[in-house]
């Protein structure tokens, strides 16, 4: 698909510096720019590439000061990163214009299918499932009995959504994710055997949620596991039963949240962080990568480490920890000196 500088400027409310008829058909990073591609410059440390890149059109911030000769056509915008993201969304949308029902696939006669949907080969739509308008379900995906998927949501290949779950609109689930599997609930018996607790709840996911590949969100024991509007989940994340994740929270790869923990709005949870069960995490909390959270956290705190503690305290503790070998040696030397002094007194 070809775009002219003029069309891009109209879409981004930008100002053209150069040829308005310049055409691009692909995108590139500014340091790897090629003829016919669109790039952007938002980070000042990449400015040096602006003067040598071969990218045909470059989005730049409106206030950028040019310090050399440029061959490319520039489009000045309020925020180059946001403008570039909007263009990527436009481009990506054009790649997903698939519609129709491929065969072989199975759609139960009691399921309700909306308008302009795409259902790929070998997909399964269970009894009483409700599929909204403009939903795209890629091959080998599974939608269980009574599950509702609302408008404009995408299930990529191999996504499995168990029975009675509710998925909001404009959501994206990448390959291998499983929504609504049983929570990890067992009771140890007198003979030490583990007795399974039936998981009778469901998962509710609100609008504009995105989950990466191989994310698992367990159904509630009773009630609902809830992922609120705007949550973004990276790959390989485990969310346990009866967890609630607040609006616009971001969770990075390989993090895990144990059952019944409540995470507030606008939180950031780093990669490989682990949260114990039955905790309350306040709004706007930041949890560093590989942190082990065993206690509830108040709003607006930043924590690090395992066990997780306030970031400023943890940084001081890390400095001391790195010095432990030297401190140990000094203590050992002092003990030897004290022992010698005692002998001399004797």
Specify the higher pLDDT residue, 72 or 315.
72
pLDDT computed for residue 95 by the predictor: 64
Out of 152, 174, 208, 241, the active site residue is: 241
Q: What is the pTM assigned to this prediction?
A: 0.84
- Helix or strand (DSSP H, E) at 244: strand 244-245
Share of the chain above pLDDT 70, in %: 99
Between 53-57, 74-78, 88-92, 228-232, the lowest mean confidence (pLDDT) is in 88-92
The confidence score (pLDDT) of residue 59 equals: 96
Chain length of the chain: 346
Residue 258 tokens read as 């144990």
Q: Indicate the SS3 state at residue 329.
A: helix
Cα 311–Cα 313–Cα 314 angle in degrees, nearest 5: 60
Does residue 241 have an active-site annotation?
A: yes
Contact between residue 159 and residue 141 where contact means Cβ atoms under 8 Å apart = yes
CB 18 within 8 A of CB 73: yes
Predicted confidence (pLDDT) at residue 96 exceeds the cutoff of 70? no
CA angle 218-169-280, nearest 5°? Answer: 40
Nearest to 256 by CA among 278, 272, 235: 272
CB atoms within 10 A of CB 298: 11
Mean pLDDT of the chain: 95
12-71 pLDDT, tens digit each: 999 999 999 999 999 999 999 999 999 999 998 999 999 999 999 999 999 999 988 999
Q: What share of the chain is helix, strand, coil (3-state, %, to 5)?
A: 20, 30, 50
pLDDT tens profile 294-345: 999 999 999 999 999 999 899 888 888 888 899 999 999 999 999 888 888 8
pLDDT tens-digit map of 23-36: 999 999 999 999 99
CA distance 241 to 185: 9
Name the more confident of 44 and 204.
Answer: 204
Q: What pLDDT score was predicted for residue 321?
A: 84
Tell the burial category of 254 from Cβ atoms under 10 Å away from its Cβ (0-12, 13-18, 19+): middle
| 69 burial via Cβ count (<10 Å: 0-12, 13-18, 19+) | exposed
- The per-residue pLDDT for 94 is 65
């Amino acid at each position: 698909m070809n775009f002219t500088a003029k069309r891009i400027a109209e879409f981004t409310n930008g100002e053209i510096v150069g040829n308005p008829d310049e055409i691009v058909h692909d995108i590139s990073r500014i340091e790897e720019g090629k003829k016919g591609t669109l790039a952007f410059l938002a980070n000042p440390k990449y400015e040096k590439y602006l003067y040598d890149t071969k990218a045909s059109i470059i989005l730049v911030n409106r206030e950028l000061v040019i310090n050399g000769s440029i061959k490319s056509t520039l489009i000045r915008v309020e925020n180059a990163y946001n403008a570039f993201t909007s263009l990527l969304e436009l481009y990506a949308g054009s790649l997903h214009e698939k519609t129709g029902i491929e065969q072989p696939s199975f759609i139960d006669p009691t399921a309700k299918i909306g308008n302009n949907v795409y259902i790929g080969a070998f997909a399964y739509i269970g009894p009483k499932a409700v599929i909204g308008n403009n939903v795209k379900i890629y091959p080998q995906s599974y939608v269980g009995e009574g599950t509702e998927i609302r408008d404009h949501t995408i299930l990529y290949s191999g996504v499995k959504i168990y029975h009675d779950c509710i998925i909001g609109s404009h959501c994206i689930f990448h390959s291998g994710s499983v929504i609504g599997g049983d929570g990890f609930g067992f009771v140890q018996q007198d003979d030490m055997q583990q007795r399974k607790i039936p998981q009778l709840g469901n998962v509710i996911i609100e609008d504009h949620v995105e989950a990466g590949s191989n994310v698992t969100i367990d159904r509630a024991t009773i009630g609902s596991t809830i992922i609120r509007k705007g949550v973004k989940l990276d790959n390989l994340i485990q969310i346990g039963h009866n967890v609630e994740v607040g609006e616009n929270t971001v969770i990075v790869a390989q993090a895990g949240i144990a059952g019944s923990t409540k995470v507030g709005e606008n939180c950031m949870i780093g990669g490989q962080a682990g949260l114990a069960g039955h905790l309350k995490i306040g709004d706007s909390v930041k949890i560093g990568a590989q942190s082990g959270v065993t206690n509830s956290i108040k709003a607006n705190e930043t924590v690090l480490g395992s066990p997780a503690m306030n970031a400023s305290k943890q940084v001081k503790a890390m400095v001391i920890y790195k010095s432990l070998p030297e401190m140990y040696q000094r203590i050992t030397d002092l003990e030897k000196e004290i022992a010698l002094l005692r002998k001399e007194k004797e």
